[in-house]
């Protein structure tokens, strides 16, 4: 709150040296905006509106002007190939968009599968990106998945380093080099 007041105070122009402007601050008791991504009812994935807009260039029913503008802006970074939706990464790599069910299967395979290493959530999310998969809540979902993994919780406090140095070779001394 103090940062906001300091910013507002720096924007006020004072004409006279003894003039004190009146600053009115209004406060809402509810959040002004909440960014929550939830699955749409009727088993529609999170990217349903973007995919429909790219297919037919028609906005969803009941969309306001601000919603339409946001949908146009978001759809610019997505690419539709047939029935599969891809997201363009910052370096123009196409990442396949997956829904909740596919994301759960991918997390299970990446964490516990044949090449799964029970890595932490951030590493698992990066592994998914390298495998060219994408969903909005990827990193938080991976972190939540790791917290629920039974094996990770059992062995988390075990330290996996040897008690002695692995290299037991004798180090040369000054006297060894002259003999």
Report the CATH number that the domain containing residue 75 is assigned in CATH. 1.10.340.70
Pairing of strands 133-134, 78-81: unpaired
The total domain count for the chain is: 1
In whole angstroms, what is the distance from residue 119 CA to residue 141 CA? Answer: 14
Look at residue 120 in the predicted model and tell me its pLDDT.
85
Q: Is residue 63 part of a domain?
A: yes
pTM for this prediction: 0.61
Q: Is residue 119 part of a domain?
A: yes
Q: Residue 83: which residues within 8 A CB-CB, separation 6 or more?
A: none
Q: Is residue 169 part of a domain?
A: no
Look at residue 96 in the predicted model and tell me its pLDDT.
94
Look at residue 98 in the predicted model and tell me its pLDDT.
94
CB of 12 within 8 A of CB of 23?
yes
Look at residue 16 in the predicted model and tell me its pLDDT.
79
Residue whose entry in the numeric block shows the structure tokens 């829904």? 99
**What residues make up the domain containing 56?**
14-154
Look at residue 40 in the predicted model and tell me its pLDDT.
47
Please give the average pLDDT of every successive group of 10 residues along the chain, which has 179 residues. Answer: 70 76 72 53 82 91 89 91 90 91 91 79 90 92 89 71 62 59
Q: Is residue 79 part of a domain?
A: yes
């Amino acid at each position: 709150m103090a940062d906001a007041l300091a910013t507002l105070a720096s924007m006020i122009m004072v004409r006279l040296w003894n003039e004190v402007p009146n600053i009115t601050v209004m406060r809402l008791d509810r959040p002004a905006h909440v960014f929550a991504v939830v699955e749409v009812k009727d088993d529609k994935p999170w990217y349903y509106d973007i995919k429909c807009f790219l297919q037919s260039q028609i906005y969803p029913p009941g969309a306001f002007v601000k919603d339409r503008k946001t949908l146009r802006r978001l759809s610019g970074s997505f690419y539709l190939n047939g029935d599969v939706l891809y997201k363009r990464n910052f370096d123009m790599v196409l990442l396949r968009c997956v829904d909740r069910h596919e994301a759960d299967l991918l997390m299970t395979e990446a964490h516990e599968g044949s090449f799964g290493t029970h890595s932490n959530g951030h590493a698992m999310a990066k592994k998914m990106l390298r495998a060219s998969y994408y969903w909005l809540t990827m990193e938080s979902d991976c972190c939540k998945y790791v917290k629920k993994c039974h094996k990770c919780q059992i062995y988390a406090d075990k330290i996996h380093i040897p008690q002695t140095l692995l290299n037991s070779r004798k180090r040369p001394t000054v006297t060894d080099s002259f003999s």
